[in-house]
A and B are shown apart, each in its own frame.
Chain A
């Protein structure tokens, strides 16, 4: 009898302990306009996905609360030869399933992130190879001297080789081809949070990793990440106390939330540039009424589009001032910014009309524009305003605004003629714009997000030089030159830099990264 009672008592005691723990557990409810489209850290190079997933997976190097490089899974790194970077890996780190973290996982993650279907090629695709020196040391070998290796690896997350093999997830989740695998719904990282329950596009629950290798400065035990697409509903949820943190705050509601004495609004310039891209490669546009030729190949057409866009009114009316018009493909906070180039072509409808007539389209033409409606601040509204602007020079835009879950697979497979994209130079350096956005698409992630395939050999050449140049002054001069060429070519149509707008309860301490990243380990909820 006593033998039978004992386990029962133990269970009871355990239940009591558990309920006591959960009573004092700190739950953070985060609301966002969209979801991370997958839990796979190599499947989509999108700020929100990176932000969410990097609470679970970790990279070798991270950025600390001041956005400076800091060790994470690598404890130290140094350049041992011009083309060799040695990384010492952290010892005693375990993945969530208990497997120890070793150099094999790093090499596996390298192959995975540069392989087919990966969206992270632009980070690691430029390396020549990664060599294992011992279980906790690796060498990254580059083709040429490559001074920005540490910056590049900050969003290349390490997955467990064993877990990926056990779960048939050795290839990334490829949204372009509609390929999903276990890594999309489950996760096994080394990070401070563990995926507990995932309902894509609805809600994902994360719990604190009690076996985390480091110290977690925040006090959050559980994170409930909820997707609320509708702006008004999200604001209502924030004001009624259903959410603790919310991002982004719709620009029209900033003042209202600021006036609420229980809430605070965190604002700052975001590193992201919003721009429009045009298909300049195909000989005939996929979605236009012009047959047999591609109007976007004509610089006069691109220039006409540029000059037809009334960016100042978009700033004041659509963005309510919460944007800075850009003339370059990255904002001033990014290294390589040239203030003397920061001048937009003037807004001039007549000039635009004239350019279009010269190009042979006196009555304009018709083209489809692809646009997300839940990714960037007022994205669909901006596209509508642009469509109205372009209507004034006779261009008829067939606007297709849709949710990012269908939008990204479409445009990332270059199935578009005219599209909107936002790009954050996550290395805070212009090379991260030159290489993925402005270079001719090619191997190793080159031009992976240059979806309209703008191409100028001079820019490609400069991009390679920028990568290996160590003299900062010379390097900036090269960046400037490449930017100037791209600007003269009107390779893309830069729009603006949007402002970060987060709302949080007053008793929550959090760090807002300029790339819009939210690291839950830094979040403290005060009583």
Chain B
């Protein structure tokens, strides 16, 4: 572990990281968010998902530093008396888990499909790309809604963890197409290059060429896409929650918190939506900046 870290720190990528304050700041924020999400149980003042602890009479209290606020609730409370700070910590956990898991799923699936299509060509390529066309012709949210709806109909007795599983799968099933398209494009370029032909001539198995030679060279754009998709996935998750097929309102994700708070903007209770909004911006921005830096760091042409 120590060794791996040392090796990374002294590598080119590590060097570029040390040279980029932006990347360091983004990484710091992302790590803090991750840490809080993982250890939410210890970090957060209360458990906002434990309904028995909610006091409705404490609802819509302003942040502690504003008149009327209470030290008990540092960032105020929402319309159900939920501590906003705790809700943020737990909410970003849901958003991150759903975002990361669905992107990971769709990257694995999408890249595999793209590689296959680009490398094999012929009818495999046509079939897969037409499938992508079909997927792309529907708005992502509609497909996610459909899958989430079907998932719910299949498991009417679903508890919350199953609901999140359906959510992750429905978002990832709409996201993989973009990776497949991107990877196929790059693969088409790469497979005619000399190094691939050289590998072929020396008798390397096609699967090995695909994974060992082509894949590393097409991952650059996927990185960038994936980081953007994390934010998109979080927003998709929020939209689904808004439509009543996502996170249950009793365990709100960041998106749910923003939507709920949105209703109170006009009446002056800004903290219910602003803080979750800031949190979402922070997470999305830091992940994006990291992805951006990673793209530059991994791009051999920019070295």
Task: Mark interface residues in A297-322 (1 if CB within 8 Å of B CB, else 0).
Answer: 00000000000001001101110000
For window 219-266 of B, CB contacts with A under 8 Å fall at 243-245, 248-250, 259, 262-266
Q: Which of A236, A385, A403 has the most CB of B within 10 A?
A: A385
Contacting pair A373 B51 (CB below 8 A):
no
- Cβ of B134 within 8 Å of any chain A Cβ, yes or no, is no
Residue in B closest to A256 when the chains form the complex, CB atoms: B266
Task: Mark interface residues in A350-392 (1 if CB within 8 Å of B CB, else 0).
Answer: 0000000000000000001000010000001101110111111
Contacting pair A400 B244 (CB below 8 A):
yes
Residue in B closest to A314 when the chains form the complex, CB atoms: B56
- Cβ of A477 within 8 Å of any chain B Cβ, yes or no, is no
**With A252-B263, A385-B80 as given contacts, are A391 and B50 in contact (CB-CB < 8 Å)?**
yes
Contacting pair A318 B244 (CB below 8 A):
no
Segment at the B interface, from A105-113, A227-235, A265-273, A483-491: A227-235
For window 20-78 of B, CB contacts with A under 8 Å fall at 50-52, 54, 56-57, 59-60
- Cβ of B79 within 8 Å of any chain A Cβ, yes or no, is yes
**With A391-B51, A398-B160 as given contacts, are A252 and B248 in contact (CB-CB < 8 Å)?**
no
Contacting pair A392 B244 (CB below 8 A):
no
Chain A binding surface SS class: helix
Chain B binding surface SS class: loop
**With A317-B60, A403-B243 as given contacts, are A286 and B80 in contact (CB-CB < 8 Å)?**
no
**With A400-B244, A402-B245 as given contacts, are A287 and B156 in contact (CB-CB < 8 Å)?**
yes
- Cβ of B3 within 8 Å of any chain A Cβ, yes or no, is no
Task: Please count the residue pairs between chain A and chain B whose beta carbons lie under 8 angstroms apart in the complex.
Answer: 88
Among B54, B81, B250, B266, the residue within 8 A (CB) of A236 is B266
Contacting pair A287 B157 (CB below 8 A):
yes
**Min C-beta distance of B149 to chain A, whole Å:** 8
Residue in B closest to A368 when the chains form the complex, CB atoms: B157
**Min C-beta distance of A375 to chain B, whole Å:** 12
Among A231, A389, A398, the residue within 8 A (CB) of B248 is A398
Among B57, B250, B262, the residue within 8 A (CB) of A317 is B57
**With A230-B262, A399-B248 as given contacts, are A252 and B269 in contact (CB-CB < 8 Å)?**
yes
Task: Mark interface residues in A240-270 (1 if CB within 8 Å of B CB, else 0).
Answer: 0000000000101101100000000000000
Contacting pair A387 B250 (CB below 8 A):
yes
Compute how far the CA of A402 lies from the CA of B57 in the bound complex, rounded to whole angstroms.
Answer: 25
**Min C-beta distance of B249 to chain A, whole Å:** 5
Contacting pair A385 B156 (CB below 8 A):
no
- Cβ of B267 within 8 Å of any chain A Cβ, yes or no, is yes
Compute how far the CA of A313 lies from the CA of B263 in the bound complex, rounded to whole angstroms.
Answer: 20
- Cβ of A507 within 8 Å of any chain B Cβ, yes or no, is no
Contacting pair A387 B51 (CB below 8 A):
yes
- Cβ of A22 within 8 Å of any chain B Cβ, yes or no, is no
Contacting pair B56 A313 (CB below 8 A):
yes
Contacting pair B80 A381 (CB below 8 A):
yes
- Cβ of B19 within 8 Å of any chain A Cβ, yes or no, is no
- Cβ of A401 within 8 Å of any chain B Cβ, yes or no, is yes
- Cβ of A52 within 8 Å of any chain B Cβ, yes or no, is no
Contacting pair A392 B52 (CB below 8 A):
yes
Residue in A closest to B241 when the chains form the complex, CB atoms: A401
Contacting pair B267 A388 (CB below 8 A):
no
Contacting pair B250 A253 (CB below 8 A):
no
Contacting pair B264 A252 (CB below 8 A):
yes
Q: Which residues of B contact A499 (CB under 8 A)?
A: none
- Cβ of B202 within 8 Å of any chain A Cβ, yes or no, is no
Q: How large is the interface on A (under 10, 10 to 19, 20 to 34, 35 or more residues)?
A: 35 or more
Residue in B closest to A378 when the chains form the complex, CB atoms: B79
Compute how far the CA of A403 lies from the CA of B245 in the bound complex, rounded to whole angstroms.
Answer: 10
Contacting pair B266 A398 (CB below 8 A):
no
Among B60, B245, B250, B266, the residue within 8 A (CB) of A384 is B250
- Cβ of B159 within 8 Å of any chain A Cβ, yes or no, is yes
**Min C-beta distance of B56 to chain A, whole Å:** 5
Q: How large is the interface on B (under 10, 10 to 19, 20 to 34, 35 or more residues)?
A: 20 to 34
Residue in B closest to A383 when the chains form the complex, CB atoms: B249
Q: Which residues of A contact B269 (CB under 8 A)?
A: 252
**With A317-B59, A318-B79, A398-B159 as given contacts, are A388 and B52 in contact (CB-CB < 8 Å)?**
yes
Q: Which of A231, A381, A385, A388 has the most CB of B within 10 A?
A: A388
Among A235, A313, A314, A401, the residue within 8 A (CB) of B249 is A401
**Min C-beta distance of B81 to chain A, whole Å:** 8
**With A313-B56, A398-B248, A403-B243 as given contacts, are A232 and B266 in contact (CB-CB < 8 Å)?**
yes
- Cβ of A333 within 8 Å of any chain B Cβ, yes or no, is no
Task: Mark interface residues in A265-294 (1 if CB within 8 Å of B CB, else 0).
Answer: 000000000000000000000110000000
Q: Which residues of B contact A253 (CB under 8 A)?
A: 266-267
**Min C-beta distance of A385 to chain B, whole Å:** 5
**Min C-beta distance of A511 to chain B, whole Å:** 27
Contacting pair A391 B52 (CB below 8 A):
yes
Contacting pair A384 B80 (CB below 8 A):
yes
Q: Which residues of B contact A310 (CB under 8 A)?
A: 56
- Cβ of A397 within 8 Å of any chain B Cβ, yes or no, is yes
Residue in A closest to B160 when the chains form the complex, CB atoms: A398
Among B57, B244, B265, the residue within 8 A (CB) of A401 is B244
**With A232-B266, A287-B157 as given contacts, are A402 and B51 in contact (CB-CB < 8 Å)?**
no
Q: Which residues of A contact B59 (CB under 8 A)?
A: 317-318
Q: Which residues of B contact A317 (CB under 8 A)?
A: 56-57, 59-60, 79, 81
Residue in A closest to B264 when the chains form the complex, CB atoms: A252
**Min C-beta distance of B267 to chain A, whole Å:** 4
Contacting pair A230 B244 (CB below 8 A):
no
Contacting pair A388 B54 (CB below 8 A):
yes
Q: Which residues of A contact B156 (CB under 8 A)?
A: 286-287
Q: Which residues of A contact B52 (CB under 8 A)?
A: 388, 391-392, 394
**Min C-beta distance of B68 to chain A, whole Å:** 14
A-B contact pairs, 9 of them (CB 8 A): A230-B259, A231-B262, A232-B263, A313-B56, A385-B80, A388-B56, A391-B52, A398-B159, A398-B248
Shortest beta-carbon contacts, A-B, top 6: A402-B244, A391-B51, A252-B267, A391-B52, A231-B263, A388-B51
Q: A interface vs B, CB < 8 Å? A: 230-232, 235-236, 250, 252-253, 255-256, 286-287, 310, 313-314, 316-318, 368, 373, 380-381, 383-385, 387-392, 394, 397-403, 406
- Known contacts A402-B244, A403-B243, then 15 further A-B pairs from the complex at CB < 8 Å, ordered by chain A residue: A230-B263, A252-B269, A256-B267, A310-B56, A314-B56, A317-B56, A368-B157, A385-B56, A385-B80, A388-B80, A391-B50, A398-B160, A400-B244, A401-B249, A403-B244
